Chains A and B, each alone.
Chain A
Amino acid sequence: MITAERKPLDEIIAMILPFKKVLVVGCASCVGECAAGGEKEVGLLGSALRMDARMTTKELETREMTLERQCVYEFIDRLTGLIDQYDAVLSLACGAGVQAVAEVFPNIPILPALNTSFLGQTKEAGLWLENCRGCGDCRLHLFADICPVTRCAKQIFNGPCGGSQDGKCEVNPETPCAWHLIVTRLEDRNQLDLLEEVYAPADWSKKEGAGPRKIVREDQQN
C-alpha cells in the first residue's frame, strides 16, 4: 500500500486559513489502511479544525466525506455537484489522489492534509515498513524476496557492505541489514549459489524513465 502521515495540525490550520467553507475528503484505500486518511481520521481532523475555529473565533464551515479511492475517476465523480459549494478541498489522500481530484476540478484548490511516505506493508498494529521503491524491474526472486533497492541504505545489488554488524545496518542500528536477511534466507533455502553471481548495474531508466512513468494497456481500453 501507499503509506502516509497526517501533517501537523498547525500546518493544516495555516493552509485552510484563507477559506471559509472547506470540504474534508478522505480516501478509504491505502491511507485508510495506514490510519492516516480514512473515515475515522477525516472525522477527527474535521472536529479538530472546527474546535480550533471556535477557539479562535474564525468563521469555518466544514463537511466530511470519504471516497473509496481518490485516484480513480469513477469515485472522484461523487464530488460533482457538491464541490462547487466549497472554497477548498482538504484532501486526506496520497499525492496521487490529491492530483487526480485537482485534475477533475482544476478551479478549486485541493489542499494536501497528508505527507505521502512510501510503498510498504503493515507489519503489526501501528507499524508500517517500506519495502518497495517501484523500480519497474523486480528481481526479488534473486534476493530471497527481500528488496535490496529499498531495504539496503546503499541499494547494493552485490552486498552486504562492510558496515553490516550483528545483522544491523550501520546507518541505523534499529534497521536490520537487508543483505544479512538475504544471505540468511538464501542459506535457509539452500540457494547460496545465488550469492556468487555478480549482478550487473540496474536499468534505472525503468524507474527514473523520461520523467513521470505511465502504463498503457490497450486491452483495458474501450
Chain B
Amino acid sequence: MKIESQLKNVLAAGRFAVTAECGPPKGADPEAVIKKGRILKGYVDSVNVTDNQTGVVRLSSLAACVLLLQEGLDPVLQMVVRDRNRIALQSDLLGASTLGIRNVLCLSGDHQSFGNQTQAIGVFDLDSIQLIQTVRRMRDEGQIIGGEAVSPPPYLFIGAAANPFADPFFYRVIRLAKKVKAGTEFIQTQCIYNLDRFKEWMSQVRDRGLHEKVYILGGITPLKSAKMAEYIKNQVAGMDIPEPLIRRMKSVPAKGQRKEGIKISIETIQALKEMEGVHGVHIMAIEWEEAVPQVVEQAGLMPRPTV
C-alpha cells in the first residue's frame, strides 16, 4: 500500500502538478469508476473524487477513492460539510487514512437545494475552514475536536478550494489566507476562463506571500460547446467567462467546438505555467475524461514525473 501522497511528492519536488477530477456514478457500479481511472492513469499525478457534487446522490467519494487506489492511482478524497457532522467527518478521515488514502480536499459543498434531495437538512456543523483546521490538528497534534487524543493520527495531505471569481473580490485573497492559516497545504481554484482576473488575484496572493505557503493548482474545465460556455456564464454562480471567449467558441462550427475548447484549455495552462506561484493544474473535464490525456499531452505536461 502507498505510504505517501503522489501529489505531495510531485509538488514537493518542485514539479508542475497535474490532477483531474472523477465524478462517481449514480449507482453501485465499480466499473464506471475504474473506467474513468484507467483513462486518466499515467496522465495525472492524482485524481480528485467528488463528494455528491451538486447535492446529487452518487456512489460515495470514499468508496470510489478506494477503487482508484486499487487501480494504482493517487486519489484525493473530497469531503463536504453539507452532509455530515463533526463526528462523521472525523470518523471518515480516520477511515480514509486507514484505507490508504493520502489526500483530502475540504469543501463546503453545493447547497442541497440544487440537487435531487431538496428536502434534505443541510448539516453545516463545521464550515470548510473549520474542517481544514480539524484535519490539520488531527494529523499534526493527534487531537480531535475538543482535544481528545487520536492515535495513530490520520496521515493526509490537506487541500481546499479557492474561487478568485466570486465576490467581493478584495476579500477572496483574505479568505485564501484564512485557509492557509487554518492549515491547508494545497489549493484548487475555480475554473479559470478570465485570465486577467486570475492574474490580478495571483498578484494579491504573491503580495501576501501566500504562494510560498501553499501550492496553488489552477482549475481548468475544457468547454464542450459555445452553449456550455453561455450556460456557465448565465446559470452558474461564482463562475466568470468573458464575452470574447464565448464569441471565440461561437465562431467555430458546432462539430469543431470541442477541439476549440481543448485548445483554450491548453493556452490557459501555458499561461499558468509562466505565472509565478502557480504550482500545477487541476483539470475538471466534467463527464469528458477522454479530454484529459489530450490536454495534458498537448500542453507539454508529459511524461508525468515518477517521484
Interface residues of A (CB under 8 A from B): 153-168, 170-171, 177, 180, 183-184, 192, 195-202, 204
Contacts and interface: CB of A to CB of B under 8 A. Distances in A.
A156 B127 contact: yes
Given A158-B175, A171-B113, A198 B129 contact: yes
A23 to B, nearest CB: 35
Contacts of B175: 158-160
B168 interface: yes
Contact of A162 (B161, B178, B181): B161
Interface in B52-92: 81-82, 86
B238 interface: yes
A198 B237 contact: no
A154 B130 contact: no
Given A157-B129, A157-B130, A161-B128, 13 more contacts: A159-B127, A160-B167, A161-B108, A164-B166, A164-B168, A164-B238, A171-B113, A195-B171, A195-B178, A196-B177, A198-B133, A198-B178, A204-B125
Interface in B168-217: 168, 171, 174-175, 177-178, 181-182, 190
Q: Which of B86, B125, B128, B167 counts the most chain A CB atoms within 10 A?
A: B167
Interface string B105-148: 00011110110000000101111111001100000000001000
Contacts of B145: 201
User: How many B residues are at the interface, by size bracket?
Assistant: 35 or more
Contact of B127 (A157, A170, A177, A196): A157
26 contacts: A153-B111, A153-B122, A154-B108, A155-B124, A156-B108, A156-B128, A157-B129, A158-B128, A158-B175, A159-B175, A160-B167, A160-B171, A161-B108, A162-B166, A162-B190, A162-B238, A164-B168, A164-B237, A164-B238, A171-B114, A180-B167, A198-B129, A199-B130, A200-B133, A201-B86, A201-B145
A198 B125 CA distance: 15
B168 A184 contact: yes
Contacts of B167: 160, 164-167, 177, 180
A171 to B, nearest CB: 5
B257 interface: no
A154 B238 contact: no
B6 interface: no
B163 A162 contact: yes
Interface of B: 81-82, 86, 108-111, 113-114, 122, 124-130, 133-134, 145, 161-163, 166-168, 171, 174-175, 177-178, 181-182, 190, 237-238
A154 B162 CA distance: 17
A205 B199 CA distance: 44
A198 B127 CA distance: 11
B166 A163 contact: yes
Contacts of B111: 153-154, 163, 170-171
A158 B107 CA distance: 12
A196 B129 CA distance: 12
Contacts of A196: 174, 177-178, 181
A170 B108 CA distance: 13
A212 B202 CA distance: 49
B238 A201 contact: no
A69 B125 CA distance: 35
B70 to A, nearest CB: 32
Given A158-B127, A160-B166, A170-B111, A198 B181 contact: yes
A173 to B, nearest CB: 8
Contacts of A163: 110-111, 166, 237-238
A110 B22 CA distance: 55
Contacts of B125: 201-202, 204
A196 B171 CA distance: 10
Contacts of B181: 196, 198
Nearest to B108: A161
B124 A156 contact: yes
A84 B166 CA distance: 61
Contacts of B108: 154, 156, 161-162
Contact of B171 (A154, A168, A171, A183): A183
B166 A165 contact: yes
B130 A201 contact: yes
Contacts of B114: 171
The 9 residue pairs across chains A and B that have the minimum distance between CB atoms: A162-B163, A170-B237, A158-B129, A156-B127, A162-B238, A163-B237, A162-B166, A201-B130, A171-B111
